[in-house]
Amino acid sequence: MNWKASRALRLALLLLLAVLSSAAFAATRVSIARIPAEIRSDYFVVTINGRASPVVLAASSYYLLNFDLDGPATVSVRGPDPHYWDRGVEIQPMRYGIRPRRSGAVITFRIPGPVKLSISRPGAHFADSQMLYLLGSPPDRSGITAATPAVRYYGPGVHHENIDAHSGDRIYIAPGAVVFGALNLWRVHDVRVEGRGIILYDGPQDAANDEGWMQKPNWHCIVMDQARNIEIDGITCIVRSRTWQVQMRDSRHIGFYNVNIIGGHPRNANVDGMDWLGGGDTTVRDCFIRASDDDFAIQGNWPGYSVEAMRIPGHDVSNITIEDSVVSTSISNTMRVGWPRKTFRSSHVLMRNTDVIHTGFGGCVVPFAFFELWADPEGRGPQTDYDFSDIRLEDWYSLFQIRQESPSVRNIVFSNITAMDGPGMIPSRLSGDVSGVVLDGVRVQGNVAQDDGGIPLELRGDADEPMYGPGTVDASFSYDAGLVRPGQSITFRVLAPVGGWHYHWLFGDGSTADGAVVHHAFPDTQGTLLDGSGRFRVLVRARKTAENEVWSSRSVVVAKRLLPAIEAQQPGASGLFLSPLQNGRGTLWEGWLRIPTDGGYTLTLLTSRRARLSIDDLPPVHSPELRMDVCGSFGDAVQPTRLSLAAHAGLHRIRIELSPGVENEPLSEDGAPVLEWQGPATPLGPVPAEALAHTAP
């Protein structure tokens, strides 16, 4: 073939690829409504399959873009300057395995369809953080227009009014519509609210105090009082003021479907997601919720904060289902039940197939948790039949805090719970008249928990020991020990494959594979977060049916060389040596860490102090910015300080510097800081005492 024919063939192939690419783009329909100037921002610019759009300035420093999509798409996000992503990029939920490509200010990635994503820089998930939410929906097939009869229609553009629903109303908030006000469902029934528009609530609440608990019209983005048969579908609710976002009192037969609820306040508190003050019979499905307090709060009433008000008995709350959703909070709990001195009954609450991408760090008298049931002191009333299944935890603080001294807490089940990356910050606790707690297939420390140490868990008072189960299947996996270099193929194996289950791998670099045994080569040493750590988050999903899947997670560190072990000095007694820092302002723990096997390791220091962690001659890592506890609690939140290294087996010098601390600082049995690790043959867990040693001065 001569060069002209070869060139013609190449051009024909390029043309064919362009046509096929255009056809693929055309096959996926993208709809992005025009954003009114009052809420439009060019801080980020998002492009989906070639369609560029500014974003909505939502609440606090949060931004969002709503779009409709009926297939896969390529997404790019342009940040405000070329260095914006220098510290890395975090795209959650982790289960999508998204790792973008970066070119200066622009990151690019693929999505499988109408997903709901949170995009930020690593560790930036508090109320003062800049976060972008991409909120995809399937196409709106309602066919409603301004001419549709018997519909209250809010068309594209800005509307300054509160929406007061009447019984029998059908209300449509069109794409591109922004209603500055509240949706009041006050003692009405048979109301449907739908569309793709936005309700933006920015009320008159005092920013320095909590007035958001009040139950009255025009005081929340969505408020219900004795409402019945309500369906809300497809809209977005944004709250900028210090008030609870969705408040429901004594309302039943409520459905939230594909609803986005986003609230933030610079004071980082009192912006709950959803609250039930009595009532229930509620379904929350395919929703995205970002709160600056509890995502979900269940309580019988809330007539005020005084002791007398708290002692007024509340109404029953029952029959709540939360499923197929993504939830996040800058502070507090994913779900909280009760409050000190409150008396009411709750039952039959189910949360399943949910991505918990952030829980609060710190505490409000008691530590925050995925699930908190807090009634001490004087809180009473049976709280029964809570079921949490198929939950994926990211950036979490503790699994549960269940504390009620007198009758009674019964039948709380946690099944198939997976920490997708890293340990919890503090132990869970059961305290008081608590029994019937089941932990089945709970994986929060690398392996399925078989005892209290696998959570870890503290028991106080009369609380019964929980029951532990293995779960439906074990998705644990191993990979080749030794140095993992860029471009080097290594083998991953599910440890106990089971027939009839399908194993899907996400390697944290944007690539996937299927099978119980797979081979993979990582492309570079940048890591999943593009932060230069070399740490890739590898996930395995074991699936038998769409409703039956189990996850497992491990970190794999990719590097170009292994640190040599230091054998010149022989360590003395186990543990690290404690001495004051030279400036007298803090403490120094130093000594030797024994690496058991050649390969990459992730060390995680858990501390509420300013900290500096170093290994050998690697650049040290520093703790995140300190975060205070709230509600008058003493101290700061425990946070992770991570260091990745690739090292030969043997001794390596370790040094931990800590600023002066407070009483809630987590400590190991010997009083040393809490240090966790994970490596090729080392599941996630505390560094054992025998792996630490020191030489006396």
More confident residue, 193 or 673: 193
Alpha carbons 412 and 435: distance in angstroms, whole number: 8
User: Which of 66, 24, 28, 26 shows the shortest CA–CA distance to 46?
Assistant: 66
Question: Is residue 697's pLDDT more than 60?
Answer: no
Question: Is residue 349's pLDDT more than 90?
Answer: yes
Per-residue model confidence (pLDDT) at position 580 = 84
Alpha carbons 425 and 369: distance in angstroms, whole number: 10
Q: How confident is the model at residue 122 (pLDDT cuts 50, 70, 90)?
A: very high
Alpha carbons 625 and 145: distance in angstroms, whole number: 50
Region 257-281: what's the mean pLDDT? 91
Spell out the domains of the chain, with CATH numbers in brackets.
Answer: 30-136 (2.60.350.10), 149-419 (2.160.20), 477-557 (2.60.40.10), 577-693 (2.60.120)
User: Which of 319, 318, 336 shows the shortest CA–CA distance to 327?
Assistant: 336
Per-residue model confidence (pLDDT) at position 21 = 44
Q: Are 296 and 324 in contact (CB under 8 A)?
A: no
Q: Which residue has the tokens 């599910």?
A: 494
List alpha helices for 228-377, DSSP H: 307-310
Question: Is residue 25's pLDDT more than 70?
Answer: no
Indicate the Cα dihedral angle 349, 354, 360, 362, nearest 10°: 70
One-letter-per-residue 3-state SS of 492-529: EEECCCCCCCEEEEECCCCCEEECCEEEEECCCCCCCC
Per-residue model confidence (pLDDT) at position 23 = 45
Per-residue model confidence (pLDDT) at position 583 = 72
Question: Is residue 151's pLDDT more than 80?
Answer: yes
More confident residue, 19 or 215: 215
Q: Which parts of 219-295 are beta strand (E)?
A: 222-225, 228-233, 236-239, 246-257, 260-263, 274-285, 288-291
More confident residue, 150 or 267: 150
User: What pLDDT digit, counting tens, does each position of 321-335 carry?
Assistant: 999 999 999 999 999
Q: Are 301 and 272 in contact (CB under 8 A)?
A: no
Alpha carbons 251 and 219: distance in angstroms, whole number: 17
User: Which of 249, 243, 158 shows the shortest CA–CA distance to 205?
Assistant: 243
User: What pLDDT digit, counting tens, does each position of 195-252 carry?
Assistant: 999 999 999 999 888 899 999 999 999 999 999 999 999 999 999 999 999 999 999 9
Alpha carbons 98 and 509: distance in angstroms, whole number: 7
Query: Would the CA dihedral through 359, 363, 368, 374 be positive or negative?
Result: negative
Alpha carbons 483 and 493: distance in angstroms, whole number: 17
What are the tokens at 605? 């220091």
Region 476-484: what's the mean pLDDT? 96
Q: In this structure, what are the phi and psi dihedrals at residue 215, rounded to the nearest 5 degrees?
A: -100, 100
Region 676-688: what's the mean pLDDT? 94
Alpha carbons 268 and 98: distance in angstroms, whole number: 28
Alpha carbons 622 and 643: distance in angstroms, whole number: 9
User: What pLDDT digit, counting tens, does each position of 557-601 carry?
Assistant: 999 999 999 875 566 678 888 888 877 788 999 999 999 999 999
User: What pLDDT digit, counting tens, does each position of 36-58 carry?
Assistant: 999 999 999 999 999 999 999 99
Q: How confident is the model at residue 668 (pLDDT cuts 50, 70, 90)?
A: low
Question: Is residue 268's pLDDT more than 70?
Answer: no
Q: How confident is the model at residue 631 (pLDDT cuts 50, 70, 90)?
A: confident
Alpha carbons 197 and 175: distance in angstroms, whole number: 5
Per DSSP, 466 falls in state P
Name the residue type at position 232. I
Per-residue model confidence (pLDDT) at position 16 = 47
User: What pLDDT digit, counting tens, does each position of 435-448 carry?
Assistant: 999 999 999 988 89
Buried residues in 355-377 as b, exposed as e (16+ CB within 10 A):
bbbbbbbbbbebbbbbbbbbbbe
Alpha carbons 654 and 640: distance in angstroms, whole number: 17
Region 125-145: what's the mean pLDDT? 94
Q: Are 220 and 265 in contact (CB under 8 A)?
A: no
Q: Are 48 and 74 in contact (CB under 8 A)?
A: yes
Alpha carbons 144 and 323: distance in angstroms, whole number: 27
Per-residue model confidence (pLDDT) at position 630 = 87
User: Which of 95, 137, 183 shows the shortest CA–CA distance to 286?
Assistant: 137
Per-residue model confidence (pLDDT) at position 269 = 79
Region 79-99: what's the mean pLDDT? 97
Alpha carbons 595 and 489: distance in angstroms, whole number: 23
User: What pLDDT digit, counting tens, does each position of 158-181 carry?
Assistant: 999 999 999 999 999 999 999 999
Let me know if 256 is exposed, middle or buried by CB neighbors in 10 A (0-12, 13-18, 19+).
Answer: buried
Q: Are 458 and 432 in contact (CB under 8 A)?
A: no
Per DSSP, 575 falls in state S
Alpha carbons 169 and 229: distance in angstroms, whole number: 11
Per-residue model confidence (pLDDT) at position 368 = 96
Of 18-32, 300-314, 521-535, the range with the lowest mean pLDDT is 18-32
Let me know if 136 is exposed, middle or buried by CB neighbors in 10 A (0-12, 13-18, 19+).
Answer: buried
Region 305-318: what's the mean pLDDT? 95
Q: What average pLDDT does the chain have?
A: 92
pLDDT > 90 fraction of the chain, expressed in percent and rounded: 84
Per-residue model confidence (pLDDT) at position 574 = 81
User: Which of 88, 134, 91, 89 shows the shortest CA–CA distance to 114?
Assistant: 134
Region 77-94: what's the mean pLDDT? 97
Radius of gyration of the chain (CA): 26
